[in-house]
């Protein structure tokens, strides 16, 4: 969890200036745009948040999936909406951090978005179809090297965290595989279970149910340490010397247009603070193997800016450049 200022744990009425900010209330239904297909962590986060906001503001709240373009299509959908507090983006590490350095023709820039609050963060997990003859990560690497360019790996889209995790993994291990992008983690997982792709780095928060059901086999997680929800699955960095510095955590959060007023932003951030404190949300993050990513407006903005800079360095070092598809 992001570090919290002491004021965040006080009752709402104790926060200086908050009663004035709370004077703003949405006047029409709220729309949460998800820049990915149904079934992934962004979609899960949005569908957890929507009923809470609906109850909190006593107004309808709908989730709208706009996938494609590595998350840029959905992001632009939110940016075209009026900055009046009625349209939110349930963004993520791909279109809100990685994309700025990866894509040459980005249709927006970081200054166009206002970070409101995070939802969840967690590692990616390397999963293979049961037909793949590998039960450990080193065995998969050996299989890939014996069959260069013959195996395929899926992702929720070009420029998303699982895609970049796969690129980094192949570069670090000296392996080759065919990248097959989908319009979200859900469709990619369906194709993996069906055996139409061989493996993928999936968000643990969305892929853990497939692992528990035995539909796919987990070989490693991308975080520095093992995840409590999968204690028998090693961290990738502990399996091979080539992966000693390998560490990726994906994340999700709410954004609004940069022109949104501070009063609206404060109200939405405080609503998400209350949402994070519900037993339902806390239990869901634990179940998914994720960690709450709540913080103040300033803290979440700082977190996002640090992620933009970190992935910019990684992408520049690797010389990766693409066009928005």
Q: End-to-end alpha-carbon separation of the chain, Å?
A: 33
pLDDT at 325: 67
Task: Give the C-alpha separation, 216 to 247, whole Å.
Answer: 22
CB 68, CB 10: distance < 8 Å:
no
Positive or negative: CA dihedral 171, 172, 178, 182 = negative
> Please, where are the H alpha helices in 174-296?
185-193, 204-212, 262-276, 279-288
Task: Give the C-alpha separation, 40 to 264, whole Å.
Answer: 28
- Nearest one of 209, 199, 226, 204 to 135, comparing CA atoms: 199
Q: Could you say which DSSP state residue 98 is in?
A: I
pLDDT at 322: 85
Q: Is 288 helix (H, G, I), strand (E, B) or coil?
A: helix
pLDDT at 273: 98
Burial of 293 (0-12, 13-18, 19+ CB in 10 A): buried
**Angle between helix 204-212 and helix 185-193 axes, rounded to 10 deg:** 20
Beta 30-34 vs 291-292: how paired, if at all?
unpaired
10-residue mean pLDDT series, the chain (325 residues): 37 40 83 93 96 97 94 96 98 95 94 98 96 98 97 91 92 95 91 97 91 97 93 97 93 98 97 98 93 96 95 86 81
Q: Is 207 helix (H, G, I), strand (E, B) or coil?
A: helix
Residue span(s) of the chain under CATH 3.40.190.150 come to 6-122+251-318
**Protein fold of 123-243:** D-Maltodextrin-Binding Protein; domain 2 (3.40.190)
Residue span(s) of the chain under CATH 3.40.190.10 come to 123-243
* Residue whose pair of structure tokens reads 């149904």 in the numeric block: 38
pLDDT at 174: 96
Beta-strand runs (E) in the chain: 30-34, 61-65, 87-92, 113-128, 152-155, 178-181, 199-203, 217-221, 249-257, 291-292
Q: Which CATH superfamily is domain 6-122+251-318 in?
A: Bordetella uptake gene, domain 1 (3.40.190.150)
* Full-model pTM: 0.82
For the CA atoms of 283, 274, 262, 15, the dihedral, rounded to the nearest 10 degrees, stands at: -130
Tokens for 147, please give them: 């069959």
58-89 burial, b if ≥16 CB within 10 A, otherwise e?
eeebebebbbbbbbbbbbbbbbeeebbbbbbb
Task: Give the C-alpha separation, 57 to 120, whole Å.
Answer: 22
């Amino acid at each position: 969890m992001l570090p919290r200022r002491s004021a965040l744990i006080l009752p709402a009425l104790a926060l200086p200036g908050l009663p004035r900010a709370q004077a703003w209330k949405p006047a029409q239904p709220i729309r949460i745009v998800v820049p990915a297909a149904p079934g992934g962590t962004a979609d899960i986060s949005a569908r957890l948040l929507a009923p809470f906001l609906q109850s909190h503001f006593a107004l309808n709240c709908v989730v709208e999936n706009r996938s494609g373009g590595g998350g840029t299509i959905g992001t632009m959908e939110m940016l075209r909406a009026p900055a009046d507090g009625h349209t939110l983006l349930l963004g993520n590490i791909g279109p809100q951090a990685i994309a700025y350095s990866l894509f040459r023709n980005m249709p927006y820039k970081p200054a166009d978005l206002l970070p409101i609050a995070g939802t969840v963060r967690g590692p990616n997990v390397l999963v293979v179809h049961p037909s793949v003859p590998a039960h450990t990560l080193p065995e998969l690497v050996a299989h890939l090297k014996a069959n260069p360019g013959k195996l395929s790996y899926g992702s929720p889209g070009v420029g998303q965290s699982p895609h970049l995790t796969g690129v980094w993994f192949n570069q670090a291990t000296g392996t080759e595989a065919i990248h097959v992008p989908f319009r979200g983690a859900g469709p990619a997982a369906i194709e993996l279970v069906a055996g139409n792709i061989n493996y993928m780095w999936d968000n643990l928060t969305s892929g853990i149910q497939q692992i528990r059901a035995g539909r796919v086999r987990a070989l490693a997680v991308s975080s520095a340490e093992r995840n409590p929800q999968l204690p028998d699955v090693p961290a990738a960095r502990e399996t091979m010397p080539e992966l000693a510095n390998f560490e990726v955590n994906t994340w999700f959060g709410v954004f609004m247009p940069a022109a949104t007023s501070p009063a609206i932003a404060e109200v939405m951030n405080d609503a998400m603070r209350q949402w994070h404190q519900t037993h339902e949300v806390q239990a869901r993050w634990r179940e998914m193997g994720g960690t709450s990513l709540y913080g103040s407006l300033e803290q979440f903005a700082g977190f996002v800016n640090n992620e933009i800079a970190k992935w910019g360095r990684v992408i520049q070092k690797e010389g990766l450049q693409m066009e928005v598809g």
